[in-house]
Each structure stands twice: as structure tokens, then as C-alpha cells.
Amino acid sequence: MSALQQPTRRERQREATFDEIVRAASELLAEGAELSLRAVASRMGMTAPALYRYVDNYQELVDLVAFELDKAATQGFIEAASKYREDDPAARLCAACVAFRRWALSKPREFSLVFANPIGSTEESERRELLTLSTSGRYFTDLLYEIWELYQFPYPSLDELDPIVRDAVLDPLIPAKAEHIEPSERGLLWIYMRSWSALYGVVTLESTGHCDPRVIQSGALFRATIIDWLAPLGLGAEAPRLIQLLDDELSR
């Protein structure tokens, strides 16, 4: 659709229905209720067969809701980071990471739907494309790229990578922009993957309760994980400032 072309009435109605589907699903998740096509349809005051005009099956419903919840949550991460200057991506990343954790702890079912929604096969191209468009993933990796531009932290050369990892960074299937990174410099994407797995791992443990509740309450494991990644991201000299910022954000 061109910039001057306005959506038709039918298109507007369809988009409004998709928005209502996401709202209904979000309400069910918040209430601890079962998320199903029938439950969403009932919440919307329509029949399950009528809902099939918009989503073909349960997996398509989950994918739609997960994508929209991720997009909405990312706006919260952006707002948290916006307290800090645009030319300070390190501070913005710390604030966004805390906001990511806060969302996961306050809305664990939303977090689980977004990040525990597996792609069953690499042949599911449409679903994998949706995964690589993940709003939060691109936001965090964009911040990492800004940090690299400023601090030039080291990353492995292609020759240093395991052949499977090398193939993965040269033809990435991760939620990160890579077109602007020269193939010879794609070792940077390995830093993306490793740092994201550290953040996601600790937040998942906390959100699902698979961690000592005292450690969750204190934020100690999350804090240590973020601090451990300052030096690899070239931020060792910035550590005192960023740790203070991290503690301030955690105390809010």
C-alpha cells in the first residue's frame, strides 16, 4: 500500500478485529485462564468458527498474539531507555535489560508465550520469518551494534568460529539486522547470540521460579549476569557508572 493509499473499510475492520483478538488473549493470560481459540472467541462474543476467518489454527493465534505482545513490551523497554541520552547506548541497554526483566516477572505468561513459542522445523519458513522480525530482539541487538560502534569491543573472526556457528552468522536466522554488517565481520553476530542467551537465560529462570526466591527478590543473579557482560562489550572502564545506573534501575 502506497503512502497515499488509505486502507479500505474492510481492511480497517479486519485490523480492528486482529487488535481485539490480541486484547482478548492478553486478558485471558493476565487472568490465568486457558488460551484457546474457543476462549478467545467467547471473550470477543463470537463463535469459534467465525474466528477461523482471521486465524487458521491455534498456532497461528499464538504467533499473532506473541508478535503483538512482544511489540507492545518493546515500547516499554524503549521508554525505560529513553531516560538516557541517545549517544549513551550502554546506559540505554542497561535500562532496557532491567525493563525486560520487570516485564517478565510481572507478566510471566506473556513472557512465556513470546519466548517459549518454539519453531518446530526449520522448514516452517513463514513462522521463522516472524521470529526473526522479533521487535525486542532487533531492539537489543541494535543497541549492541551502537555500543560496538562506540567501543569497538572484540569479536571472533570467521576462522575462529565453529563451522556450524560460521554458517549461522553468515546466513542468520536470529532477530537482528545484519545486512549492514560485512560478511567478514559477522563474528559480531556471535556476540549478539551469546549475550542475548545470557540475558534471556537468567530472566527465564527468574520468571519461571526456577531459581532461589531470595536471589530472584534481590535481583542478585540478574545483576551479576549484566555485570559479567560489561567487559566483553568493551565497557570495563564504564563499569562503576553503569553498575550504579543498574542498581538505580533495579531499585525503582
Tally of helices (H runs) and strands (E runs) in the chain: 13, 0
For residue range 30-83, what is the model confidence (pLDDT) as tens digits?
999 999 999 999 999 999 899 999 998 998 899 889 989 999 999 999 999 999
Parts of the chain belonging to CATH 1.10.10: 1-55
Compute the distance between CA of residue 1 and CA of residue 59 in angstroms, rounded to an integer: 27
**CATH numeric code, 70-251:** 1.10.357
For residue range 164-214, what is the model confidence (pLDDT) as tens digits?
999 999 999 888 889 999 999 999 999 999 999 999 999 999 999 999 999
Handedness of CA 158, 159, 165, 166 (dihedral sign): positive
Task: Determine whether domain 1-55 maps to CATH 1.10.10.
Answer: yes
Half-sphere exposure (Cβ direction) of 83: Cα atoms closer than 13 Å: 12
Compute the distance between CA of residue 170 and CA of residue 183 in angstroms, rounded to an integer: 6
Q: Model's pTM, two decimal places?
A: 0.89
Parts of the chain belonging to CATH 1.10.357: 70-251
Confidence of residue 121 (pLDDT cuts 50, 70, 90): very low
Compute the distance between CA of residue 179 and CA of residue 98 in angstroms, rounded to an integer: 28
